[in-house]
Structure 1
Amino acid sequence: MREPKLIWQLFPINILILLGAMLAIAWYGNHSLRIFYINQMVDNLEAQARIIAPQVGQLLVKANFVALKDYCFQAGQRIPTRLTVVDQQGKVRCDSDRDPATMENHADRPEIIKAFNGEIGISQRYSATTKQDMLYMAIPVVDDKISLGVLRTSLSLAAINRELQRLFTRMALGILIITFFAGCITLVVARQITRPLELMKLYSQRYAGGDLTEKISVTGSEEIVSLAQAMNKMAAQLDERMRAVQGKRNELETVLAGMVEGVIAVDPEDRILYMNNSAMEQLGIEQTSTKRSSLLEVVRNIDLLRFIQHTISRDKSGEKTIVFNQGKCDEKILQVHGAQLYDAKKNRIGALIVINDVTKLLRLENLRRDFVANVSHELKTPITSIKGYVETLLDEAGELPQHVLDFLTIISKQANRLQAIVEDLLSLAKIEEESDREEILLERGSIRNILQNAIEACSAKAAERNIQLILHGEDHVYAPINGPLLEQAVINLLDNAIKYS
């Protein structure tokens, strides 16, 4: 439901308040004037009654009711007032407008009752006799403190009602005119109030759309101007921060776009948040927008999909080697690293995947390994031959000159050294071959036998340096081991210890 505008909230309220106030004033004025006119009429009726009362009293004392009737008729003709005389029993003795004989007993009339009690009786009511609203004023008629009856004077309220009705009509017309002009003024004032607010609304929509450069310039009350200044300050701060964020974002995108490694960011629903060009190239994806696309729609390798989903669901990072396009001419070997993404509140928001194309590196490594293994095997035979010939010559040392013996000794040492290097290379190639397996093969074996073999292999070097190798420990110690790897590791430790002792 659309909310009403401020101008249409202010306008009806002001008009209703103004109209209510004017009506209240009109009602109060009309009521006050009515009371004023009635009080004036009461005063006139009382004055007239006071003048007529003495003559009425004399006629009542004489019980001359015929003369009393004539007097009331004549007096009622001279003044525009109805006169009525009532005796102590409430019987109407004379009336200036009606025949007393046709009138009912007036003892129960409110103004008559008060007059009987010695008070001035005043009453307003509809008269069944005259068929109109009447104002009655009654005073007691007294002779030597003896109550003879009541003299009542009355006037019709029709004239007052008509006058008040005309006055109220004029006041209502005035109220309508005043309300019309007040409404126009209210619209103008409300428009002056809402125009700056509408302008600020327009600028706030521009701010929401990212246009934070324009400033709001409004005039009006202090509150509106202060609000506009606050919005300008807010827009300037937001613009500064947005520029800083945009700059950092551009820097980050530049760095990620320039990386050789492929980078993919995904959310917990397997939707792609970011993918750089390297990742698209490595995975054979067309250079189109992949943001917010489903991972299943973009990535076609099942092993990579499983790794990404596994990374999202677990709490630690991991890595895996994946063969992409296996068996095809463009086969690739990808080293994939995965880690979880968290927001500032430590809530998991997805995962980050880094892809390295290690195809060339692994090929070169395999070439190096094969070369080392082949060269080592090829060198082993001539080195063995050289050692054999040198040892044969050294066995016949008595027939050779001393300098030849020195050369042969040097050759023998260097041949032994070269043979040790070749054996180390072969061992290294074997270790690398074992490490390439996903799991190292372990078999239950004797630890003591491994240590004893390592000591025998290093005993000659130890003897040359006058070092004695002694094995202490239990004879029957077994564990799951890889015998050749463990033996080579112990030999390397002993060889280094002998060499640097």
Structure 2
Amino acid sequence: MTRHHRTFFRQLFRWTLLILTIPLALLTWFTGSAVQDFSYQQTRAELLARSELIKGQLARLLDQKDLAGLDRLIKTIGPEAGTRITVIASDGLVLADSQNDPARMQSHANRPEFILALAQGQGFSTRHSSTLNERLMYAAIPLRTKVSQQPAAVLRLAVPVSDIDLALKSIQLRLLLTALAIILAAVTLAWLFSRRLSRPLEQLTLNADHYARGEFSRDHLADNDQPMSREVAGLSQAMKRMARQLDEQISRIGSQRMQLETVLAGMIEGVIAVDMDQRILYLNHAACRLFQVRQTNHQGQPLEEVIRHASLLELMARSLVSVQPLEEELLLQRPQTIHLTVHGVRLLGHHQKQLGALLVLHDITRLKRLETMRRDFVANVSHELKTPITAIQGFVETLLDGALNDRQHAREFLEIIQRQSGRLDAIVDDLLSLSRLEEEIKEEQAELILQPLLPVLTEAARACAPKAEAKRVSLDLNCPGELSGLINEGLLEQAVVNLIVNAIKYSPEQSRVEIRGCCRQGHIEIQVIDEGVGIEARHLPRLFERFYRSDKARSRKLGGTGLGLAIVKHIMEGHHGSVTVQSRPGSGSTFTLFLPQPDQTAQPKRPVM
């Protein structure tokens, strides 16, 4: 049931009006009654005074038994005085009357004023006269003669009440008009008084309503020139202080919340928070990205409707009831499997009240891949080093067992040992070079200088010329002289040399290897194109991994270490570029180095120490 509250102004106005008008109405009523009583008292006193004036004459006529003379006297002085005069014998018989024939009048023995006059010496009454058919006020006194001390008769005087009432009505009308004027003034004063008291409170109510809506800058009392009581002014100041404090606190909380949301949104770890009913409290961008969920406001939605992953939902359910933090690894089946480490804890609020649970998801796919690469690298290094070492040990043992005396075989064995030692040295050199490149890239120590590319490509081709001539492979260089880039001359030359050497190794005799340099689509391209055997498509994604070979037997026969392309990849990463390959079996291969095109006003970049 809705309860309707009256406004403070209406209540104050009503009670103020009642306080002012009720006493005034009572005062008017009492005043009217007092005036009426006073008028009646005055009339009674006047009737008594008249009675005292004429009773002597009437008593003498009674002593003389002159009833006719008595009646004539009364009929003479009655009209002159405007008063009805009646003389009643002690037994109630009317002896004389100023307005009627006594002989025709009834006995007045039962009249109240007559009875009171005989009993108390005075008698008064106000009643309807059956004789005159109107209301009269009666005053009666006893008449005593000289013959007897007992009342011989009763003298009664009467005047019409209508004359008194007419005068009273005139007085009461003036009182009523005065009272109405006072009431009207009281209403006006009550309205002004109530409005003066309620107006500031109404403004305070409006202020409180705006404060409740967060509009702390609105102040309806600021533009109000009406004076306020000390209490209302104190309340207004207290509310203003409260509003400022609330505004500051809400701003501080909003700022902290924005900072927290910014931090959570910027985290690479996924964050999922739910309440006790597993409805989402927070889901950051990283979590949306991991589970391929649209980055919208999911607050209040059931977690199972947004993220459909049974293991994660089961972990969240256990996190809601577990006192200890939980940790598990989850897999997300995508085109490439994603490995996650998930930590689950309870969310606790004030007084350790549980609000829900929180999951933090760490993408460890790269770490898993690096771990796999580390294991593969250790296995490959062990295998690559073991092969030449085993060969060297075998031929050394053979020589020690007596083959050293056979000069022909000894020389052959020593040449094999020399080749295997050279291969071992090349592997170690490439490993050291690769390690050095990784460290320089990590520490950003590679010095990049804006310079032309043609001299670098020319020097790389010159360095590979002997191997090309030995295999009768022609090297063609095509690069504009004005083409420049931010490069490390030594490292870029090494990358190009590695590509040219590979192209020569895998190209047939009397073929051609082309080195091109150009600027295309906002970046610089350096291409090494051969006419070799080509590479199958299944090998292309892993071609730049360490020790990976598309044709292991052919590679070892040609003296490759399996690290050349990995070195090229790391060199390009140090140049903020990349390397790609396009190849088909029997159609040759094209290796492309991509470098960012420098700004013409760019300054040389120095190493960061």
1:124 paired residue among 99, 123, 126: 126
What residue in structure 2 maps to residue 25 of structure 1?
27
User: 2:344 and 2:130 mapped to 1: Cα distance?
Assistant: 106
CA contact (8 A) 1:111 1:122 kept: yes
1:113 paired residue among 106, 112, 115: 115
Q: What does 1:68-467 align with in structure 2 at a 5 Å threshold?
A: 68-144=70-146, 145-214=149-218, 216-217=221-222, 218=224, 219-324=227-332, 326=333, 328-369=334-375
What residue in structure 2 maps to residue 46 of structure 1?
48
User: 2:158 and 2:48 mapped to 1: Cα distance?
Assistant: 10
CA contact (8 A) 1:118 1:139 kept: no
User: 1:102 and 1:230 mapped to 2: Cα distance?
Assistant: 91
Task: Specify whether residues 244 and 107 from structure 1 end up closer, same or farther in structure 2 by C-alpha distance, changes over 3 A only.
Answer: same
Task: Specify whether residues 62 and 345 from structure 1 end up closer, same or farther in structure 2 by C-alpha distance, changes over 3 A only.
Answer: farther
Task: Specify whether residues 64 and 314 from structure 1 end up closer, same or farther in structure 2 by C-alpha distance, changes over 3 A only.
Answer: farther
3-state SS, counterpart of residue 140 of structure 1: strand
Task: Specify whether residues 380 and 148 from structure 1 end up closer, same or farther in structure 2 by C-alpha distance, changes over 3 A only.
Answer: farther
3-state SS, counterpart of residue 345 of structure 1: helix
Per-residue deviation, 1:87: 1.4
CA contact (8 A) 2:346 2:354 kept: yes
Amino acid at match of 1:105: S
Question: What stretches of structure 1 of length at least 5 have no aligned partner?
Answer: 394-501
How many residue pairs match? The answer is 386
Bigger shift: 180-189 or 226-235? 180-189
What residue in structure 2 maps to residue 396 of structure 1?
none
Higher helix content, 1 or 2 = 1
User: 1:17 and 1:96 mapped to 2: Cα distance?
Assistant: 53
CA contact (8 A) 1:119 1:140 kept: yes
Per-residue deviation, 1:373: 7.3
User: 2:150 and 2:310 mapped to 1: Cα distance?
Assistant: 128
User: 1:256 and 1:346 mapped to 2: Cα distance?
Assistant: 23
User: 2:156 and 2:162 mapped to 1: Cα distance?
Assistant: 19
Deviations 1:146-197 (A, max 9, x none): 2212111111111121222233233333333333343233333333333322
User: 1:74 and 1:146 mapped to 2: Cα distance?
Assistant: 27
How well do the aligned residues superpose, as a CA RMSD in angstroms? 2.9
CA contact (8 A) 2:21 2:186 kept: no
User: 1:213 and 1:77 mapped to 2: Cα distance?
Assistant: 88
3-state SS, counterpart of residue 116 of structure 1: helix
Amino acid at match of 2:159: L
Task: Specify whether residues 286 and 97 from structure 1 end up closer, same or farther in structure 2 by C-alpha distance, changes over 3 A only.
Answer: same
3-state SS, counterpart of residue 350 of structure 2: coil
What residue in structure 2 maps to residue 13 of structure 1?
15
User: 2:328 and 2:110 mapped to 1: Cα distance?
Assistant: 116
CA contact (8 A) 1:308 1:353 kept: yes
Task: Specify whether residues 162 and 280 from structure 1 end up closer, same or farther in structure 2 by C-alpha distance, changes over 3 A only.
Answer: same
Per-residue deviation, 1:257: 2.2
User: 1:147 and 1:108 mapped to 2: Cα distance?
Assistant: 17
User: 1:38 and 1:245 mapped to 2: Cα distance?
Assistant: 83
What residue in structure 2 maps to residue 497 of structure 1?
none
What residue in structure 2 maps to residue 464 of structure 1?
none
3-state SS, counterpart of residue 361 of structure 2: strand
TM-score after normalising by structure 2:
0.58
3-state SS, counterpart of residue 351 of structure 2: coil
Task: Specify whether residues 380 and 117 from structure 1 end up closer, same or farther in structure 2 by C-alpha distance, changes over 3 A only.
Answer: same
Per-residue deviation, 1:137: 0.9
